[in-house]
């Protein structure tokens, strides 16, 4: 099997995922994992796919562009990799949530702290929104890997100290606890 990372960007509209996955299926690609989001009207999708036969990255990119050109205009970048180079988590996963009055430097402060403590950010979401009083708030949510060598109580104190400096509420939870307390139940 041959492994590729595809990064897709476009103005957002319905049908992009259907077009891209159809193009991938046409070359017998299997989607190993994917993540998609829309920010400010821009669609982004990153996928790890495996193919049964090797393809040049330029040929795979051209195929995706050609196969999707009738339904959408997208930008595509393709990188060949191998399964061994895809990093599996080596630390426990936690969810960091921080919110407070919008101000410059929030993402920088938290991301620098995490970086300085060798914590990898796996997923990051931040947005401005008005609260019920009409004040503009900033919400930051990050899924992070925390190496076991760190004392979680001290990390929480440090993060809450950053939150206090910014007048933000900060919560750090193990991913399992976050998932259990935020799970949507279907019948």
Cα–Cα distance, 34 to 24 (Å, whole number): 13
Buried b (16+ CB within 10 A) or exposed e, 70-108: ebbebebebeeeeeeeeeeeeeebbbbbbbbebeeebee
Judge contact between 62 and 76, C-beta under 8 A: no
Give the pLDDT confidence score for residue 82 in this predicted structure. 73
DSSP string, 168-186: EEEEEEEHHHHHHHHPPP-
Strand partners, 78: 6
Structural domains of the chain, with CATH: 2-85 (3.30.70.260), 92-182 (3.30.70.260)
pLDDT higher than 70, residue 6:
yes
pLDDT higher than 80, residue 16:
yes
54-64 residue pLDDT tens = 999 999 999 99
List of E strands, 52-165: 75-81, 92-101, 120-130, 136-146
Cα–Cα distance, 28 to 18 (Å, whole number): 15
Give the pLDDT confidence score for residue 161 in this predicted structure. 95
Give the pLDDT confidence score for residue 23 in this predicted structure. 96
Strands 92-101, 75-81: pairing kind:
unpaired
86 or 13: whose pLDDT is higher?
Answer: 13
Cα–Cα distance, 40 to 130 (Å, whole number): 16
Give the pLDDT confidence score for residue 183 in this predicted structure. 65
User: Region 149-172: what's the mean pLDDT?
Assistant: 93
Residues constituting the chain? 187
Chain position carrying tokens 């996963």: 93
99-147 residue pLDDT tens = 999 999 999 999 999 999 999 998 999 999 998 888 999 999 999 999 9
Cα–Cα distance, 37 to 48 (Å, whole number): 16
Distances from the Cα of 92 to the Cαs of 2, 79, 100, 117, in angstroms?
29, 28, 27, 14
Task: Identify the CA nearest to 166 among candidates 141, 146, 139.
Answer: 139
């Amino acid at each position: 099997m041959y492994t590729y990372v595809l990064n897709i960007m476009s103005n957002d509209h319905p049908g992009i995922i259907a077009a891209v996955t159809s193009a991938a299926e046409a070359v017998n690609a299997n989607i190993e994992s994917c993540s998609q989001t829309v920010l400010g009207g821009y669609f982004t999708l990153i996928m790890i796919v495996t193919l049964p036969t090797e393809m040049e990255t330029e040929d795979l990119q051209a195929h995706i562009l050609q196969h999707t050109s009738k339904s959408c205009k997208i930008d595509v970048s393709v990188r060949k990799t191998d399964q061994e180079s895809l990093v599996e988590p080596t630390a426990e996963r936690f969810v960091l949530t921080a919110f407070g009055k919008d101000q410059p430097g929030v993402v920088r402060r938290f991301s620098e702290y995490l970086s300085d403590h060798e914590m990898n950010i796996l997923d990051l979401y931040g947005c401005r929104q008005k609260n019920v009083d009409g004040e503009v708030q900033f919400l930051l949510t990050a899924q992070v890997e925390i190496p076991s060598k760190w004392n979680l109580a001290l990390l929480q104190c440090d993060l809450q100290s950053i939150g206090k400096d910014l007048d933000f509420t900060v919560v750090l939870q193990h991913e399992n606890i976050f998932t259990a307390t935020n799970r949507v139940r279907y019948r």
